[in-house]
Amino acid sequence: MKLIGVTSCPSGVAHTYMAAEALETAARAKGWEAKIETQGAIGIENELTAADIESADVVVLTKDIAIKKEERFAGKKIVRVTVTQAAKQAPEIVSKLEAMLAQA
């Protein structure tokens, strides 16, 4: 499985990066590939490529503020969470995604 996502928060500082790290760590703990783009105070980092998006099984987007270039994910399975949920509940989110994908 491959999880990609974009994290962003209103201030674009700590929570953006904490959420990205937590999601990547939780996905890798399940043996998944993971790449999370951050959209923070200094702009877009770890930007997802077209190949990343094409090969992804699921996309996690934080919903605290609008994600830039969200149209890239058209046609993909998208799950929206708050940046706080991503930072604090990443293992639970990934487990729910795993169950959702298993049923698909």
Enumerate the active-site residues.
9
Nearest to 61 by CA among 51, 95, 53: 53
Listed in sequence order, the residues at least 6 apart from 32 whose beta carbon sits closer than 8 Å to its beta carbon are 1, 2, 3, 94
Q: Which amino acid is at 18?
A: M
Rounded Cα distance, 38 and 18, in Å: 10
Tell me which H or E stretch contains 83: helix 83-88
How many other C-beta atoms can be found within 10 angstroms of the C-beta atom of residue 85? 18
